[in-house]
Amino acid sequence: MIRNERGVTLIETIIAAGILGIVCAGMIATVSLMATQREQTVAVQSRVLAVANLINDIRVRPEHYVKNYSSSSVLTDTILDVPNLPIAVSPDYIGPVKDCPNCPSRMGYVIRPLPGLDGIFVVTVRYAEVRGSKAGTVEDYEFLVVPK
């Protein structure tokens, strides 16, 4: 009797299907991780862009930002208290909080004179996450401005 040995046995098929399942599960986990990292990157880029734009605007035209001028540290703390931050920030919006009450981030700033150095000001920009996985995160950025 001659045996035909062509073809694949049931055991080989089951092993191949198991290996394929493991590979697919790894690919799905990788794609999911990449999507999460992309969301985090977009959030960081949004924050950096918003803060950089505000800093550049204040450096170029500090006289337009005098409304948040304060020489008092108590007033500075009040202005920069997270619920009082006036600028709403999301990946596609930067503007007044009243126009985007559900934006995930808030931003505000205060300009203070540098004691003992006339004409030099310290600008503090506060960026706070108020919604999402990073809610409660607050970052302060400080820089000096010398008006022209």
pTM above 0.85, yes or no: no
Percent of the chain with pLDDT over 70: 85
Q: What is the pLDDT of residue 12?
A: 87
Could you give the C-alpha distances from 108 to 6, 45, 55, 96, 147, in angstroms and in order? 74, 18, 11, 10, 20
Nearest alpha-carbon partner for 71 in 120, 125, 13, 112? 112
Which residue's entry shows tokens 């995930």?
Answer: 104
Least confident of 27-36, 68-77, 109-118, 139-148: 68-77
User: So what's the pLDDT on residue 17?
Assistant: 93
Mean pLDDT of the 45-50 span: 79
pLDDT band at 20 (very low <50, low <70, confident <90, very high): very high
Rounded Cα distance between 128 and 53, Å, is 16
First-to-final CA distance of the chain: 102
Share of the chain residues as helix, strand and coil, in percent rounded to the nearest 5: 50, 25, 30
